[in-house]
């Protein structure tokens, strides 16, 4: 991917919220290795992780800013003279959200509102917010907070008024071998000879960290303001994944956890009237009156069929065990994992 195709990264100041997380670190490494921004700011709340990242990535264009997206005043300070924001900060664990709902609302919803206000008032050019498949027809608190966040970022394009700030959202599935992923968990479980699964029918969307980073950077190029970008990625049955990781293990089934879905959705039927298909992605357009419905069609987007849905159990693209092994081997965040 040519990062300089439409975005002048070399003359831009970029800020990444949640920059010390799995995605944030991978994004920073990618930018520094390809086309370093004039200034690349890591905004996060964990001083220890920032220190460790500083020691690992020594680059003259890298800056570290300690803060929390719940702190509106701190965001105003951090966003001074920034051109592009990648918003990756969030509370993400589904079970934790069910038992700590107010904390998730404060970070995922009120934090999003703070970012929007600060971005508009500071004249940020582009903001790309990371979402999740769990925001589509949510049944858990985490998904509900991210849906709310997505709505805020879409509507922020009209809320911005005369400001030139553009807001876009990226929605994708599970990242292979990232923190909290089931893959490292299964790798640890297989030492006991028993893998505990929730439901043998369960399916999930999967992509590597590198694929996620490349997709987000491409969306920075393409965002017009208000779109939800969805990559075309493969699905895999949880049972197939478990057999690949622990082929000689026994399997136990414990039932789905609070707020968990059997299958994940990236484009629900309810959003299909506004969804366009491209070669490598789907783009859900805003339903607001200010949106130019011809904008993406001019770029080659084709309307999806009536009643279309993009769900992990009805996907045309499936990962095999061999495919998973190859992706794990390619993933920079999984260098210590060996499936076989």
Catalytically active residues are: 134
Query: How many other CB atoms are there within 10 angstroms of residue 200's CB atom?
Result: 12
Contacts of residue 5, Cβ cutoff 8 Å, sequence gap at least 6? 221
DSSP run (H or E) holding 62: strand 62-66
The candidate with the shortest Cα–Cα distance to 298, out of 310, 285, 307, 280, is 285
Which residue, 261, 271, 337, is CA-closest to 304?
271
Say which DSSP state 134 is in: G
C-alpha distances in Å from residue 280, one per residue of 107, 230, 260, 317: 31, 9, 28, 12
For residue 285 the two structure tokens come to 């357009």
Can you name the residues that pair with 166 across neighbouring β-strands? 126
Return all residues near 99 (Cβ < 8 A) that are at least 6 apart. none
User: Which DSSP state fits 239?
Assistant: H
């Amino acid at each position: 991917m040519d990062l300089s195709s439409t975005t002048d990264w070399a003359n831009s100041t970029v800020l990444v919220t949640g920059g010390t997380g799995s995605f944030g670190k991978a994004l920073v490494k990618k930018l520094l290795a390809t086309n370093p921004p004039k200034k690349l700011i890591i905004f996060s709340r964990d001083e220890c992780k920032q220190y460790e990242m500083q020691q690992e990535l020594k680059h003259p264009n890298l800056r570290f800013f300690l803060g929390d997206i719940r702190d509106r005043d701190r965001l105003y300070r951090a966003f001074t003279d920034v051109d592009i924001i990648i918003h990756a900060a969030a509370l993400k664990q589904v079970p934790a959200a069910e038992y700590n709902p107010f904390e998730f609302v404060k970070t995922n919803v009120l934090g999003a509102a703070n970012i929007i206000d600060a971005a508009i008032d500071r004249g940020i050019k582009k903001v790309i917010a990371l979402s999740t498949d769990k925001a589509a027809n949510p049944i858990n608190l985490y998904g509900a907070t991210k849906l709310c966040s997505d709505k805020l970022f879409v509507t922020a394009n009209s809320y911005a008024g005369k400001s030139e700030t553009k807001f876009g959202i990226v929605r994708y599935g599970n990242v292979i071998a990232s923190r909290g992923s089931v893959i490292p968990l299964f790798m640890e479980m297989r030492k006991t000879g028993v893998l505990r699964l929730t439901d043998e029918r369960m399916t999930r969307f999967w992509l590597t960290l590198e694929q996620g980073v490349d997709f987000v950077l491409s969306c920075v190029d393409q965002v017009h303001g208000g779109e939800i970008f969805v990559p075309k990625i493969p699905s895999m049955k949880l049972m197939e994944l478990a057999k690949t990781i622990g082929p000689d293990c026994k399997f136990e089934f414990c039932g789905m956890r609070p707020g968990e879905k059997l299958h994940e959705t990236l484009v629900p039927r309810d959003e299909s009237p506004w969804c366009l298909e491209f070669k490598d992605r789907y783009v859900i357009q805003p339903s607001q009156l200010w949106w130019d419905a011809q904008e993406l069609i001019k770029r080659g987007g084709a309307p999806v069929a009536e009643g279309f849905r993009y769900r992990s159990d009805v996907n045309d693209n499936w990962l095999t065990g061999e495919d998973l092994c190859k992706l794990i081997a390619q993933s920079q965040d999984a260098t210590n994992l060996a499936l076989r």
